[in-house]
Amino acid sequence: MAMDIQLKDIVKLKKQHPCGSYEWEVLRVGIDFRLKCMGCGHQIMMPRKQVEKNVRNIRKPE
């Protein structure tokens, strides 16, 4: 079952980024996700399956 992850959501992943942040902003949704680190601004592309496996929390934008 697919998770309900939308654009601009903040997802908290299981492992931290080398800068120390666990939170990522969703910039693109599809087969792959484009995520931006909330700590340093680094952007990455990750397969949907890997993101859904590693998500611990989803926070909606205010």
pLDDT tens digit sequence for 8-53: 999 999 999 999 999 999 999 999 999 999 999 999 999 999 999 9
pTM of the model: 0.90
Band of pLDDT at residue 6, cut at 50, 70 and 90: very high
Query: What's residue 2's pLDDT?
Result: 65
Query: What's residue 34's pLDDT?
Result: 98
Q: Give the closest residue to 11 by CA, choosing from 47, 21, 41, 40.
A: 21
Return the DSSP state at 45: E
